[in-house]
């Protein structure tokens, strides 16, 4: 199974997702800040990243995804966040318009059932194997 890096400062959500992913046979690593995640990525290569947006700063996850896209362009990222409810206007992620500055494979709105997250991870990894 896959090595998943969960990046989120919501420890309860991380714990629930980690249990579900490990029950599905995945190896799971956790980072609670963008900086912890960046440090982890310098030492290890997970198969996929599940990333929140609002952590240390409102845009921490956006910034990290952008930087990861530059340094690790083949790393699949699933953004799992509630950021849209805090943004003004009607912003929605568009892979066509936003891919250059936000190189993610999926944009999921919290809350997401752990079972759905497992499905999205499997689907993303399957797509990546076709791409790579």
Q: Where are the domains of the chain?
A: 3-131
Answer for the pair 27, 2: CB distance below 8 angstroms, yes or no.
yes
> What are the structure tokens assigned to 51, written together?
């990333």
Q: How confident is the model at residue 95 (pLDDT cuts 50, 70, 90)?
A: low
Which range of 34-48, 72-86, 100-114 scores highest in mean pLDDT? It is 34-48
Q: Which CATH class is domain 3-131?
A: alpha beta
Contact 56, 64 (CB under 8 A): no
Name the β-bridge partners of 50. 6, 78
Order of strands across the sheet with 3-7?
Answer: 27-31, 3-7, 48-51, 77-81, 106-109
How many residues are given for the chain?
Answer: 132
Better-predicted residue by pLDDT, 28 or 57: 28
- For 81, other C-beta atoms within 10 Å of its C-beta total 22
pLDDT 10s digits, 46-85: 999 999 887 777 778 889 999 999 999 999 999 988 755 5
User: Which ranges of 33-75 does DSSP label H, i.e. alpha helix?
Assistant: 34-43, 60-71
pTM for this predicted structure: 0.84
């Amino acid at each position: 199974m896959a090595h998943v890096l969960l990046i989120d400062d919501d420890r309860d959500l991380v714990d629930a997702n980690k249990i579900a992913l490990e029950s599905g046979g995945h190896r799971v690593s956790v980072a609670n800040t963008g900086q912890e995640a960046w440090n982890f990525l310098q030492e290890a290569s997970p198969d996929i990243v599940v990333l929140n947006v609002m952590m240390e700063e409102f845009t921490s996850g956006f910034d990290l995804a952008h930087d990861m896209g530059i340094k690790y362009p083949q790393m699949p990222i699933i953004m799992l966040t509630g950021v849209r409810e805090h943004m003004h206007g009607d912003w929605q992620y568009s892979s066509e318009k936003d891919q250059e500055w936000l190189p993610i494979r999926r944009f999921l709105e919290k809350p997401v059932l752990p079972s759905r997250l497992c499905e999205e991870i499997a689907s993303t990894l399957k797509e990546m194997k076709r791409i790579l």
